[in-house]
Amino acid sequence: MEASEKPQLPLQPDGSDGAVRAIGDRLVIERLEVNDPGAARVVQEQVTEGHAPAETVTRAIEIGARVIESEGTAANVDYVKAELERQLRPLADRLGGVIEEGHEEFAERLARSFDRERSGSVQQQIRDMLITAMEHQRTQLAKQFSAQDGANPLADFKDGVVRAVKNAQDAQEAERARDRERIEALTTEITALRERLGAKEELEAEQSRGTAKGRDFEERVHALLDEIATARGDIAHHVGDLPGETRGKKGDTVIELGAGCGPCLAKIAFDPKDSRLTRPQAWDVLNGSLDDRGADYAVLVVASEENVPARTQSLVEYEGNKLIVAVGREDPERNILQAAYGIARARALAARQDELALDAPAMKEAIEETRRALESLKTARQALTGVRKNADSIESALAGMEETAKAALARADSLIADALEAAT
């Protein structure tokens, strides 16, 4: 049925060369062997790239057919040109050069129309038309995608991108504004902190110069001295920030003996120090207290035993008018300050009143007994800190030692009182 409807080539006799039939738009090839190394190599290479052998052979036949067809077209052009030359030659002989020129021009145009190598050939014209059309399409496509209206298929996408970028920029700008606010707040805090640190450094520098160093310790010592002085009829003056007779400020507390009930009989200068001094520095403070305050006796009060100057001892007199005493920094011991006060008071009164007949050996013995009692007191307190189980017995011993110290001070005061009565 198919053979009757479509034109086909006659069947070739069956032989070793194989059979090829053209049926309509199809070719049927049976048992055909092609002895061509290049063709065999191409088919094998195409197989390694994933192309079936039949597909490769089919493409080769299609391409070859087009090449043969092109060659046939060129042959036809040459045939037509030769035939025209043969038919027109007699006319050219009769009509002369005019016909010859026309014949040549017509033949040349005809050849150009079908010659692939000529710029004006049909194939070249088609190629130029395709190039022009593709260029036009590219231009139109570029215009369409660059348009700002709805004709641009990417208009929504571009608008979305623009909105996203703008939103990101707005968020970034807002974050920068918040960062600026935070930086300004931090700058303000840092400035305030620097001011506080500067004030602290100034305070520390002032304290290191000695004008305000240990002011809390100085005030605690003065408060105790004021209580002790009031009980004895003396007056305590806190003069640490006031210049003295030599314009110096050594001797923070000045005790005027007897000024509570009459004229001042003598002066004692106390200078509390919350830091460790060398021996020369300690003597500078003591001598300065005597000179600046016009005192008869000077006492250096240091915070804790660790601050006692080298080669000196607490509650030991030096040069007859100087004494160093160590008390607690946070809680100065009243008994120790009272003992130092009593020693200084007795020496100051004896030095100011020449007519005062003071039993010096007895006074010295009383001072030594006081010092020994206070040393025992200090040792006992240290033992109390480490041994809590014997707290009751240690407290009893401390009370006895305290009474002994008070009795010794009372005896020293009695000797002074007897001497004053004998002098009057």
- pLDDT, residue 99, reads 47
Query: Percent of the chain at pLDDT above 70?
Result: 67
pLDDT tens per residue across span 229-272:
999 999 999 998 888 777 788 889 999 998 988 899 899 999 99
Higher pLDDT, 80 or 25: 25
- pLDDT, residue 325, reads 93
Higher pLDDT, 213 or 413: 413
- pLDDT, residue 42, reads 86
- pLDDT, residue 61, reads 85
The domain segmentation of the chain, as residue ranges, is 2-141, 147-209, 214-350, 353-424
- pLDDT, residue 106, reads 55
Q: Lowest-pLDDT range, 41-55, 209-223, 299-313, 401-415?
A: 209-223
- Beta carbons of 404 and 422 less than 8 angstroms apart: no
Question: Treating both helix axes as pointing N-terminal to C-terminal, what angle do 334-352 and 360-386 enclose, rounded to 10 degrees?
Answer: 170
Of 112-121, 156-165, 246-255, which one has max mean pLDDT?
Answer: 246-255
pLDDT tens per residue across span 12-63:
555 556 778 878 778 788 778 888 888 888 888 888 888 888 888 888 888 8
- pLDDT, residue 268, reads 95
pTM of the complete model beyond 0.75:
no
Higher pLDDT, 102 or 150: 150
- Beta carbons of 352 and 328 less than 8 angstroms apart: no
Q: Which helix (H) or strand (E) holds 90?
A: helix 53-95
User: Concatenated DSSP letters for 354-419?
Assistant: TT----HHHHHHHHHHHHHHHHHHHHHHHHHHH--TTHHHHHHHHHHHHHHHHHHHHHHHHHHHHH
Res 181 pLDDT > 80: yes
Res 354 pLDDT > 70: no
pLDDT, average across residues 220-227:
94
Res 279 pLDDT > 90: yes
- pLDDT, residue 81, reads 67
- Percent composition of the chain: helix, strand, coil (DSSP 3-state, to 5): 65, 10, 25
Higher pLDDT, 43 or 79: 43
* Tally of CA atoms within 13 A in the half-sphere of 264 that contains its CB: 14
Q: Which two tokens stand for residue 180?
A: 């600026």
Q: Lowest-pLDDT range, 47-56, 241-250, 279-288, 385-394?
A: 385-394
Query: Percent of the chain at pLDDT above 90?
Result: 20
Closest-CA residue to 339 (of 317, 370, 361): 370
Res 100 pLDDT > 70: no
Res 379 pLDDT > 90: no
Separation CA 249–CA 293 (nearest Å) = 8
Has domain 214-350 been given CATH number 3.40.1340? yes
Separation CA 236–CA 225 (nearest Å) = 7
pLDDT tens per residue across span 319-342:
889 999 999 998 898 988 998 998
DSSP-derived secondary structure letter, 260: T
- Which residue type, as a one-letter code, is found at position 296? D
Q: Which two tokens stand for residue 418?
A: 């007897």
pLDDT, average across residues 293-310:
93
- Beta carbons of 303 and 273 less than 8 angstroms apart: yes
- pLDDT, residue 212, reads 44
Separation CA 201–CA 207 (nearest Å) = 10
Separation CA 274–CA 329 (nearest Å) = 7
- pLDDT, residue 28, reads 81
* pLDDT averaged over every residue in the chain: 77
pLDDT, average across residues 394-408:
76
Separation CA 74–CA 118 (nearest Å) = 12
* pLDDT-based confidence at residue 356 (cuts at 50, 70, 90): low
User: Concatenated DSSP letters for 331-368?
Assistant: S--HHHHHHHHHHHHHHHHHHH-TT----HHHHHHHHH
